[in-house]
Amino acid sequence: MAPDPAPPPEPATGSEANSTPPTAIGPSEPEPPESLRDLVITQGGLETASARRIEIRQGGIREAHGTAIDIAQGGIASAVATDIAVSQGGIAIARGDRVSVEMGGVALVVARAARVSQGGVQTMLAGEVHVEQGAIGSVVANHVTVHQPSAVGIILARHVHGDVRALLDWRGALAFGAATGLLLGLLRRRR
């Protein structure tokens, strides 16, 4: 009597159901091979991930490295890539050549070129910045262009173009720093 054949595999769910092969890297799994091209996460999460292209849909990663990272309704604690795009999601720290935020939020952006469209960034360090109906706490850049009314707390830039409402420009920041230093000096002397 022949042994029963193995049962058929169960259908794939979540990120496994995508057309790309499953390539999730969990905290207890080894580092990914150098040839890893595409990583797709749907309603799941990982500790770390490294691939040429990382796509997150309603999921999250603590640390991600890649050439292109695309987030829709998800989040990453730390992302490093050539191109980073966030749509209705968030990143704590985003470092890349090009970073785009649309209806999302990022705490810190370090980029050669950055674009914010109906989103928010706490701190941005970039060469070129384009803002369209966005909010930025502080920005240090070579060129800042604002296409529609936006709010920027502190701007330190060589060139600023467009309709922007800044709480402080570089002259205001300099005056604020001098006044704060003077006030703190007087308070210390009083003690």
**Which pLDDT score is estimated for 107?**
93
- CB of 76 closer than 8 Å to CB of 66: no
Region 86-92: mean pLDDT is 92
- 14 or 70, greater pLDDT: 70
pLDDT, residue 173, reads 75
pLDDT at 13: 40
SS (H, E, C) 85-145: EEECCEEEEEEEEEEEEECCEEEEEEEEEEEEECCEEEEEEEEEEEEECCEEEEEEEEEEE
Q: In the predicted model, what is the mean pLDDT of residues 137-160?
A: 86
Please give the pLDDT value at position 166: 66
Tens of pLDDT, residue by residue over 28-69, are 444 444 546 788 888 888 888 888 888 888 888 889 898 999
Confidence band for 151, pLDDT divided at 50, 70 and 90: confident
